[in-house]
Structure 1
């Protein structure tokens, strides 16, 4: 359309940062302890590097709204495309619900008022449907939100990292920082949280679904992925180091890590600084959900248009041509989850919903890596403006290593590998929920009789 707003390279880089950098996931990673630094460095090389290169090649070779659904469908057929689109979509309302349950606590910090349970649920629903409403409009209309959220995320991460270093230098190290403490820990607790680091490194392919809003997508996609990947890696490690040297591991909460970090580092839960940080953190949650909704909704709608998702997901607005069906479905599922949350067993609701979101999200990526290799073999003639170099053995390594890491993460996140009461209470809901959502996906395939 003539006169339509377009992404600049700078906006594309900030959008990738907004999508990929996840401030609210800082706490579960910090809960690993000092071995988190090993896992960050290892996964940056073993996962982020091959994933970023593969996303750049596929995203510039197969430009369109389908994203990873398109790649997997072209490689393995519609059944696998349907599975990927389902896992990719269902993770979003679960993630939206996990962030919604954080909002009442943030509002209490900002306002200083204790909220009644009904008021907390009302705020959660407002958060959900405000995200849905904004997602009815094109990404280029929301570029100021994405850019602003990216800048705020980086500011918060740099603040918590810098404040952590200041506290460590003035008051001493909070944790043992000997060489042995930095070595990887392979206990069940630590390995359960490694999946969060992988989650923190996913999302580059979302920028590929914004191709229609870019000035030059074939150049901007790989440039934005590479530039943003380097910035994100540096910020993650800096903020993680700041938290790790200043806050005892046992004090880190999985439910509100960034805000808990600021409160512990400053020694207070009130005051203008904490209120400002809570407000900025709330804005980042909006930015994260808006950026992801635009990519997820486009993918789900595209899959529905190709017969691989329910027809409702294919509904688009007449005025803006936006995937309103997928957006409304997000709102309905997320709303149902937060309304039912009070009757669930007493537990960390953020981590429960977030873990289930993690499982579904990671499942959607399992076929992406072999799809890259297969498309090289069966579709060599498609132009690849950005092409991963290397011999066949190197390409296989880039496919196999990330896949193995995802599968291991899935096992440790979803399955109760110990059978004590505490582990079963925490893990069984995630296992059961994962099986239910996987079953629903297979039911959709069966009912729609999707054929390759």
Structure 2
């Protein structure tokens, strides 16, 4: 049996890969539309808000050796029902996100190869991606770690080239006036939400803790390192886009590509296009690894059938991998990704808020734990909860209703699973 664990370097790269995606290649123009050059400030504020939430995840993660992430934290702090809600929603959202990213990859590829632009070919490619990654996943965590490291480093190359090389082409006049004259509270909140969602994905880091070396130490440390790195990269991507394109940044759908094209011509455009493909491909790799382990963690907690936790000779939950991949493939055939994605947006906060509230609860239950502790008492968790509620209050009403509706719909399944577990436990 192959039971080699991920080291800190691999965990950090996994965290970076899970956050940096196609959003940063498309984000700067939208943020500029609402705040102009002051969009740079949004990154600083959102960094503080996201780090507050990430630190709560870091403290909770330092208490556990096993996989599970937000589900495990909620379960230990508030009981099986809340753990079930968080865990099942995470699994559902992760499946939807994986299917969407698989189709996103084929869509981005069609921009480079127009011959595959038809919906049938794009869905065929998306299904091929899910099938291939599921099969690779079945061969063991070392292969997944290897692919994850390659994808993370490869996607960072064009981004770092842009950050380090583009800074020499910025023009100071493009940062004035720094604050738009028509700035409104609505513009500020909208920009904050846009930027905030570009940082999401860090919550996945603790999901596969059971496959990592010394997770009580390495999960919180990797969270802090990876999110700090991502924040610096994001800030300078925005800084360069503003400095190179100026007012032309507003309204563009491919801001980084436009900025690179402005500086380095067609070669710059090609580099960013390849970076986008690698970025989305990297997220597909991360999803193929962590999404089945959401189901495995729920099965270990007796909230999904126990056959979902069975491992093959490579210590991989093969039934969870096959079922998750099959459901993702079915979703690629429905074509309803836009509607389903609305649920994933709000349901992320069903992981953030319980985890932040769990910090003081788990401290009381484990007063002498030697793991990482968020500084300043409960101040940081309170800030994180308030920030999350503020973002929810400013979310689209349809997305809010869809997210809450999904949580209500899965609630009755909890009763069925409890009965199933009782029957299983009563068998000789």
1:359 aligns to what?
346
Q: Which runs of 5+ in 2 are unaligned?
A: 422-428
Distance 1:200 1:30, change over 3 A: same
Task: Within 5 Å, give how 1:290-369 maps onto structure 2.
Answer: 290-308=285-303, 310-311=304-305, 314-341=308-335, 354-369=341-356
1:237 aligns to what?
235
Structure with the higher fraction of residues in helix conformation: 2
Of the three residues 388, 411, 428, the one matched with 2:374 is 388
2:424 aligns to what?
none
Task: Within 5 Å, give how 1:268-287 maps onto structure 2.
Answer: 271=266, 273-287=268-282
Q: How many residues align?
A: 414
2:361 aligns to what?
374
Q: Secondary structure of 1:367's match? A: helix
What TM-score does the superposition give when structure 2 sets the normalisation length? Answer: 0.84
Distance 2:219 2:181 in 1: 35
Q: List per-residue Cα deviations over 1:91-136 (Å, max 9, x = no partner).
A: 1122123323322332223335352221122122222333333333
Asked whether the 8 Å contact 1:84–1:365 carries over to 2, the reply is: no
Distance 2:28 2:214 in 1: 36
Distance 1:124 1:299, change over 3 A: closer
Distance 1:136 1:280 in 2: 27
Distance 1:444 1:262 in 2: 46
Q: List per-residue Cα deviations over 1:7-55 (Å, max 9, x = no partner).
A: 333223222211232343542454022343222111212331x333322
1:101 aligns to what?
103
1:441 pairs with 2:414? no
Q: List per-residue Cα deviations over 1:384-418 (Å, max 9, x = no partner).
A: 232334xxxx4222112111222222333341xxx
Distance 1:108 1:87 in 2: 32
Distance 1:369 1:377, change over 3 A: same
Asked whether the 8 Å contact 2:28–2:241 carries over to 1, the reply is: no
1:80 pairs with 2:82? yes
1:252 pairs with 2:252? yes
1:423 aligns to what?
none
1:405 pairs with 2:350? no
Distance 1:325 1:29 in 2: 40
Asked whether the 8 Å contact 2:175–2:242 carries over to 1, the reply is: no
Distance 1:26 1:444 in 2: 39
Asked whether the 8 Å contact 1:90–1:360 carries over to 2, the reply is: no
Pairwise CA distance, 1:162 = 4.8
Pairwise CA distance, 1:281 = 2.4
Distance 1:183 1:142, change over 3 A: farther
2:425 aligns to what?
none
Distance 1:243 1:185, change over 3 A: farther
Asked whether the 8 Å contact 1:195–1:358 carries over to 2, the reply is: no
Distance 1:301 1:182 in 2: 52
Task: Return structure 1 stretches of 4+ with deviation > 6 angstroms.
Answer: none
Distance 2:183 2:3 in 1: 50
Distance 1:179 1:262 in 2: 23
What do you get for the CA RMSD once the two structures are aligned? 3.3
